[in-house]
């Protein structure tokens, strides 16, 4: 599902205009992003939890040349699905 399709479905289910649904969706994404930037977690009951994971520095290989490349440590976004979501899709 593309973002445009998501906005259309959200507008249809909530009775919002597409413009309002887009602003609402962008607002939710911004709130999640801001909280993750601070290192926090965003639990959504019955859906799951967004959090930040840490990746250690490591060595990788360039697949074209086979040369060893250093990969810096970084943070990554994680999502853990709630049991209610897991049950709903199975």
Same domain, 3 and 32: yes
- The residues, any chain, with a CB within 8 Å of residue 24's CB and separated by 6 or more, are 10, 16
Query: Number of folded domains in the chain?
Result: 2
Mean of the per-residue pLDDT values for the chain?
96
Q: pTM for the whole thing?
A: 0.80
Q: What pLDDT does residue 40 have?
A: 94
* Domain extent for 60: 42-90
34 and 65, same domain (yes or no): no
pLDDT in tens, 38-62: 999 999 999 999 999 999 999 999 9
Identify whether residues 47 and 90 lie together within a single domain: yes
With CA atoms as reference, report the closest residue to 55 among 88, 27, 78, 87.
Answer: 78
């Amino acid at each position: 599902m593309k973002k445009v399709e998501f906005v259309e479905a959200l507008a249809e289910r909530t009775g919002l205009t597409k413009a309002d649904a887009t602003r609402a969706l962008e607002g939710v994404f911004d709130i999640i992003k801001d909280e993750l930037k601070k290192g926090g977690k965003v639990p959504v009951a019955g859906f799951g939890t967004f959090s930040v994971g840490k990746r250690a520095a490591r060595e990788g290989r360039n697949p074209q040349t086979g040369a060893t490349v250093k990969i810096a440590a970084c943070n990554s976004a994680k999502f853990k699905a709630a049991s209610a979501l897991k049950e709903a899709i199975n």
